[in-house]
A and B are shown apart, each in its own frame.
Chain A
C-alpha cells in the first residue's frame, strides 16, 4: 500500500518527518520504506527572473539574470518556458538536488552558470519535466523553497499484512500514528441530510452480500478532478479519470472501503439487483475484457443483465462517462470468502477485490458512502435524492475479556491494568474494568480482533516489541532421558563424504519425460506444476541423480561420486531414500602411477559393494539375487539385506539406460526408513601376541561354485581350527590349463595361536583339514 505522508496530516497532528513515520510504522505495524520524497534538497531558494537573453553559442539555451533580492546571478537555462518576471526555484552553487546532483560552477557552451533553475521533476515534486517550475507571482523571493511550498510530500510503501484490512488506507495508518503519539484521530465530519426520493435495490443472495447501500445523486457534471485530488491519487499510484471515478478512488484510499458509481440512465429499470450470476453469463468489465461467469459468482445486475462483478469490477456498459448526469453510488459488503475464489476463477485482482477479500467494515460502508456523496456534491454539483440501505442482519459490536495477568504470561512483561488500558485506548479500543478483568470493546474497523490473544498483540505492538525483554529459559533435562543414538542418515553421509562422495540435493519433482528414459512413471503428480519439467514426484532418486551425472560429465568431470538423501514417492508412499551414483575410475589420475605402470581401475560392481561394506561396516550385511529391478544389469545386481531385512538395491545400471556413457554406472538405492540399525557396542577381543604364520593356497574349483560358497566353507572352520586368523583372496584365475569350466582362487591364509608359537605340524594339520573339508563339501582341490 502506498501512503502519502502529507495526506496523513489531514487526520492527525504530528511533526515527525517522513523517515521518522516510516520507522514508527516499521516498529509498530509493518515494514515501511520511503518510496519517494520531495523536499530533500539543499540550498534551493526562491528567485526572480530579471532578464532572459539568447545564449550566444546555443539556440535552445538562454542566458538569464536571476535575483534573490540581494544578489543577481547569471544562469544558463535550457527550459523553453523561462520568462522575465517569473518567480522560480533556484538551486544556488553548492546546492544538492534530491537525485544527489550537486550544483557547481560550470561552463555550459562556453558561458559560466552560477546555479540552476529547477523543474518539478528535478525537485522530485512531480513527474513534470516540461520546463521549469513557475511559482505564484506573490511568492516572496530569497526564501528557502521548503518554507514556501506547503504541500511537500513523501510517499511511503507499507507492506500490509492480511490481518489488517483497516490499514490499507490513510485513515487506518493515521490511527496507528495517532496511537504512537497518543493523539486523537480527526475524521472528516459528515452531514446526514433528510432524503425523500426512492431507489429500487434488492438483494437476492444475501448470504454473499450482507449489506448494500445505494445513494442516488442527480444533476452532476462529470469533468476533471481538481488539482489537489488528482495529485493525491497520482501520489498513491492511481491515474485520475474523471471527478466521479476519482472521488470513489479517493475515498477508497482514504477510508479503505471500495465504492462504485453506476450511470443511472444506463441501468435497465433504474434498478439494482444483487444476485448470483447464471452459468455462462457474460459481462464486459471496465478493463474492456469479457468475463464468463458461473453461479458461484455474485453480480450487481439491473433488470436484464449484470452491470458489475460484485466487489471486483464494474461493467463497461454502465460506467460513468462525460455524458453521465445521474448516478447510483454503491457501497456494499461482500462475503470475503466468496470474493477470493471469484478472483481466482476470473484471474483478476483489483484494488476493490483486494480489500473485499480481506474484509470490510459494516460501519465504514455507510461512512464511506456518505463521505463520497458529499465530495461529489462539492466537486461535481448535483444533489443526493435518495438513499437505500438493504441488509439482512445488523452487525453487533464485539466485547472481549482480557486478563491483565494473561498479558504478563504471554509477553513476559508486567504491565498494570491501567497501563494496558492506556495502550489499548490509544488505538481506539475502549475498555472497562470488571474486577480482575478488562472488557474491551472492539472498534468497528478492527475486523482482526476476535479473542484475547489479539488484544495482547495490540498491547505488545503499542508498548513496543523492542521494549519487551529478551530472556532465555534455562534448560532442565529430564532425569530419565535415554541415550540418544546418532541418526543413521548422519552416520551414512559422514562415511560417504569421507570416502570422497559429494552430497546432491535435487527437487522432489521432475518431468515425466525424464522418468520415461528409465521406463519409470510417476505415482504422484502435481496438479498445477510450474511447467511440465516439474510435474512428476520422483518415484526413485535415479532419474535426478542421472541428470546430475550427465551435467557433470558434460562439464568435463571424469570421476563422479554423488549421493542424495531425500524423499521418493512410489506405490508405498513417501519414503526417505539414500541414492548413490558412481562413475569413472576408483582413483584420480596421478603422475606417479605412470612410473609404477598402474592404471586407476574403473568403478565396477565390486567397488560398489565395497562402499556398502564400508558404510554399513558394523551391521550384518547379506544379499540375494532375486528379481533384479529392470534398470539394473541382471548379472550385476543384488538385493541388499541389512540385519536380515531387505532394504534396497545395489548394482550396475542396465547398459540400455547408459548408452551415452562408455563406462559402467554403479547405483545404489536404499530405503533408510526400513533399516533397523544396530547401535551395538563392540566388546574387546583379546590381542594375540605370538607370531603369526602365513601360507598361500591356490585352489581349483568348478565354475558353477561361487566364491562365497568356498569362502563360507572356510569360515565354518574358523572356530573348529581355532588358529585361522584371516583368509584373503589375492588372485582369481581362469585359464585353459585348469581344464574346462574351472576357476582358481589363490588365498592368503594367516594362522596364529593365542597362547604359543605355532609349530610347522600344527599349521600343516590345519591346512590338511581345510583341504579335506573343501574337497568333501565342494570338490575344491589344491591346484597343482
Chain B
C-alpha cells in the first residue's frame, strides 16, 4: 500500500472538512480525528516503523509536513471563527454612544480667587511672598501710619465704615485698602522684603453694577536698599505683560497717594477697543489699572525704618475690575451673590 497516496487523500479530506467547520467544537473534532490519539495521521506516523527503510524516510517526512500544514490550517480556521464570533458579538453589543455620559461633579474656584491666584502666582515667581492682615483695623494702621492725618480730605476719598466699638484711644474701622498690611509687615520684619497682600477691602459707597461696598485688592510692597522708581516701573510692566500678554500698552502718569511719593497711576491700553476709544474706557483708550509709588518717607519713619538707608515701592491693584475685564463680567454684584449659574461658568 502506498502511504504517500493515503497522505494525499487525508490532506484533501481534512482541507475540505476544515473549510466547512462552523465553530471551534467542529475544529476540535476534526483535529482529534486526524491528530488525536487514534487519529488517521497519528496512525500513519505510528505505522512508519513497519515500512521498508527506503520508504520510511520519504513517508515520514511527508507525514510530518502534513501535520504542520494541518496545524496551521486549524490555527487559522480557529482565528477565523473567533473573529467571526467577536464581530458578531461587537455588532450585537453596539450602543447609542450619544447618550449622556456619567455626570462627574466639577467644583469651581470663585472667579475672584482664580484672578487673585493668577496674579499672586506672577508676583511669587519673581520673589514676592504673601502676607495677610485683619479686616477690622484701627485708624493708626489704615490712616495715620500711612501718612493720612486726621481730617485730611484723603480720608473722604475712601468713605469709611466705622465699628461701633472703638479701640482704646482710637476708632476701629473696616480697612478701606490693603495698605495697612504694609505697616503690619514692616513692624514685624526688617528689610529686605517683598510682599503681596491680597484681601478684601470696604468702602461706604452705594452698590451698583460697577461699585461694591466690599471688593478685593492686592497690595504689593518692596523695601530694600537702592530700590528705585525705575524698578517699580519695570516690575509692574512685567506683571502687566505676563497677565495680559506683551502687546498691551502701558503708561505711568502722576497721581497722588498720601503713602507714596512720587505717586503714579498705571493705565493699560483698553482691552476692549485696543486703545481706539470706547464707552468702557470713556473714549480715552486707557483703563486705569492700579495706583503705585515710592514708599513715603513718613511711612518708613512710622515703622521705624531709616528712610535714608531704605527705599521702596508699593502698589495696590483692584481685583474685581481686572476680573470683570478678563471674563467679560458686566456687574460686580454677581461676584457676591454666589449663584451657581454664575460660579459654574468659571
Contacts and interface: CB of A to CB of B under 8 A. Distances in A.
Interface of A: 26-31, 33, 161-164, 336-338, 340-341, 357-358, 409-413, 451-454, 456-457, 460-461, 465-466, 468-473, 475, 477, 487, 493, 496-509, 524-530, 534, 537, 548, 551-552, 555, 557, 559-562, 567, 569, 574, 587-592
Contact of B228 (A409, A461, A466, A560): A409
A524 B235 contact: no
Interface string B231-256: 10111011000000000000111111
Interface stretch (B55-63, B66-74, B258-266): B258-266
A527 B206 CA distance: 16
A529 B261 contact: no
Nearest to B172: A524
B230 A574 contact: no
B207 A530 contact: yes
A162 B135 contact: no
B154 A33 contact: no
A468 B126 CA distance: 22
A471 B105 contact: no
Contacts of A559: 105
B253 A562 contact: no
B153 interface: yes
A526 B113 contact: no
Contact of A497 (B108, B154, B165, B294): B108
Nearest to A354: B153
A592 B233 CA distance: 59
B264 A508 contact: no
Interface in B292-320: 294, 296-297, 311
Contacts of B222: 473
A569 B136 contact: yes
A206 B136 CA distance: 38
Contact of A555 (B164, B230, B255, B340): B340
A502 B111 CA distance: 11
Contacts of B205: 530
Contact of A27 (B102, B230, B251): B251
A468 B255 contact: no
B256 A162 contact: yes
Interface stretch (B6-14, B23-31, B36-44, B155-163): B155-163
B108 A503 contact: yes
Chain B contact patch, size range: 35 or more
Given A493-B109, A502-B108, A465 B161 contact: no
A576 B134 CA distance: 10
A27 B251 CA distance: 9
26 contacts: A27-B254, A31-B253, A33-B284, A163-B256, A164-B256, A410-B229, A413-B230, A453-B294, A453-B297, A456-B262, A465-B253, A468-B230, A468-B233, A470-B230, A473-B235, A497-B107, A505-B110, A507-B336, A508-B135, A524-B163, A524-B165, A526-B161, A526-B164, A527-B161, A527-B164, A537-B136
Nearest to A522: B164
B189 interface: no
Contact of B340 (A336, A552, A587): A552
A526 B282 CA distance: 35
B341 interface: yes
Contacts of B103: 587-590
B256 to A, nearest CB: 3
Contacts of B99: 591
B265 A31 contact: yes
Contact of A472 (B113, B126, B174): B126
A506 B338 CA distance: 8
Contact of A498 (B107, B136, B161, B340): B107
Given A453-B297, A530-B204, A591-B99, 7 more contacts: A412-B231, A453-B294, A500-B106, A503-B109, A503-B343, A524-B136, A526-B163
